[in-house]
Structure 1
Amino acid sequence: MIARLLNRLNAALGKHLPEQRLFLKSDAGMRFIRLRPGTQALMITGGAVFVGWTAIVTSIFLIDTISAGEAREQVARAQMTYQIRLNDMSDERDARASEARLAQDRFTIAMDQVSEMQSRLLASEERRREMEVAVDVIQTTLRRTMTERDEARGRADQLMADIQAETGTIQTAAGHQRDMELTLAFLADALEDTAVERDDAHQDMEVAHAEVDRLEFEAELAAERGERIFTQIEDAVAMSLEPLDTMFRSAGMPTDQIIEQVRRGYSGQGGPLMPITMSTRGQAPDEISLRANEVLEGLDQVNLYRLAAEQLPFSMPVGSSARYTSGFGYRPDPFHGGQRLHAGSDFAGPVGTPLYATGDGVVTFSGRQSGYGLLVKIRHPFGLETRYAHMSRIRVSEGQRVSRGEQIGDMGRTGRVTGSHVHYEVRQDGTPVDPMNFITAGRNVF
């Protein structure tokens, strides 16, 4: 039955594919191989299938190569744009910090000038009060002297009247009169001297009033300059605080608790900024002191934000050569199928790509762990922990303190992976959170 079917098939194919004979010549003789139509059809079909398969595989390979090249170019452009923006934001942050420092220096100079003006004004006011007291004393002495002069004149008139009544003449009282005249001359000289001193005191008072007016004018100018300086400082502090506060809130971090914890554990050089000393006499602080304290509080808050940001994972674990391949959330399991939680973000790159700490912290684990492969865990403040998995090499040890941007290992493909990449996790109080919340929030500052 099968033979008949083959014969019929060969007969049908013989019209298009006649039987061929392949002769093979050797020293022993000549032989030939008969190629039936069915065999020829099978060979042609196999060749066509092989050529088609080769063409399809080659096309798929070329398409994948072109797509991968375009993806790498897009990632490279995105990384370049991010790096440029990062540099611009860093320059702007440095400029704002420089403006804040310059404004603080100007504020210090202005406060010194105001203090000097106030000291001079108080000294002038003291001199004016002393002059007023001196004038009052002189006027009192003058009135007393004039009263004594009038009394002396009255007594002289009375004595002359008594002498004239007793003797009927005033010739015998000539000596007493000369004495009275000398006394009166002395009193007149004293009154003249007192009047001169009074005029000098009035001139000194006029000079003092002019000096007070000048000092008040200079104090007003200093107050106006201080107002401009305060405004510039307040604007600089506000512009510095806004991106830092936005960064923390975008990452979902409790800013008030973080700032309070940093303030309690502050150990930086110089300590936090202290408020201006208030009066010890129970007097209410003036407006300048209140505004100065507000500025100092703002600068202190900027400093505390900076200290907290350096310790939190706001930067990228890899450089611009890596590409983002998988995000946080549920996704199909590449090994067993089904939906499973992907507790971090993946960044792919060649084996050996440097991996960096994303914030200051302490290494709590450094070694191999089940599906993670070679793994490094770093504990950060405020209950945060970062994990860096699938490394090819670890460059830190447990208990070691690391800083932001310090290399902790190399990218690899150890553990449960399908290719070379780093699996990066951020955990808050042990619960996985999306690392891109921190990375995206930090792009506007770092």
Structure 2
Amino acid sequence: MGNRWVGGNRVELLENGEQFFPRVFDAIRHAQREVIIETFILFEDKVGKELHGALRAAAQRGVKVDLMVDGFGSPDLSDEFIEGLTSAGVKVRVFDPGQRFLGQRLNVFRRMHRKIMVVDGTRAFVGGINFSADHVMDFGPKAKQDYAVELAGPIVTEIHRFVLRAIAIGGKGHGWFRRRLRAAAPHDNAPAGDAEVQFVTRDNRRHTNDIERHYRAAIRSARQRIVIANAYFFPGYRLIKEMRRAARRGVDVRLILQGEPDMQIVKTAASMLYHHLLHAGVRIYEYCERPLHGKVALADEQWSTVGSSNLDPLSLSLNLEANVVVRDRAFNQLMSERLDRLMRDHCQQIQTSDLTEWSGWRLVRSFFLFHLLRWYPSWVGWLPRHAPRLHPLEAPAPRGGGATQTDTA
């Protein structure tokens, strides 16, 4: 993507599954021409089954429906679930399925971690929320805190082009891409609001660090306030350095991290950075209500971002990710109010007095950690650079769950 500011958009913040899922399912039910979904996780729980029914109904009334799931994030979809979609006309694709070894999934690296939906080329949803029941409160204490946005306006044209191009790269070709784009939606969406938006992606070819660059630029230019709420926090040296510099020049820098993590290693890794950040003046809040899954941030009074990208090695150096960056005072204010409420009512602020005393081992570990953070983007490049496979499942799907053909994404 060109990463350009596009004006004239409406951006609506959706918090958790209670706001996100009703809006998404309503959009699918009212779709007239096309529904395209990319998601890391799709489970066969109550949310997945409702999506299944909505997509089937849309396809049966003539809507073109494309669904892409990640092979690592969505490994256990049954043959019946897939066949129920493909037999209705839904095109289902699995990104890099991989094979299990002794019951373990080994295809960990370079995942399709995006969460995007585009309806009729005129409405788009981007964020961190997967299609699974653990994003709604009645899931229990492990229900996740998360965010997404609904967009309307000219930026949707760019997002629409992006998802269609992803399908074309999977084997349909550029001729198909151009025909589908002409048939699916108007060439340009009319202005729908006042927000300027950039659609920013990360891949392993031309856009390897675009999302991180936007974070660093926002932190570097901030003069008053930065708030980052991120589930998996272990960023590179340059991001850490920009946060520390901002705090030292008087910017109110706040991090909201996991206090009740879904994986203990997440909190352990992040806490290794606490000394460096706190002693530079960065304020750290741990969200203790339930697992934090959000990937959002704001700077000063205009800049905000919402998306799928964590601030960890997988998201910043390996996965396929998508964020929207928003320049709009009203949206920034709403995001600020939501995050302030989160810090005030559901977080515990970490103080320097809460940290254990420095020791010789801690100093040694800190030294190696900082050099790891400084160089890991180069090191992860040594990992296998395979071309991830996109497997289309055509109806009727084989009983063994295999794909009828394989394309390269």
Shorter-chain TM-score: what band? Answer: under 0.3
Bigger Rg, which one: 1
Q: Which has the higher contact order (CA 8 A, sep 6+)?
A: 2
Instruction: Say which structure is richer in helix.
Output: 1
Instruction: Say which structure is richer in strand.
Output: 2
> TM-score, normalised to structure 2's length?
0.22
> TM-score, normalised to structure 1's length?
0.21
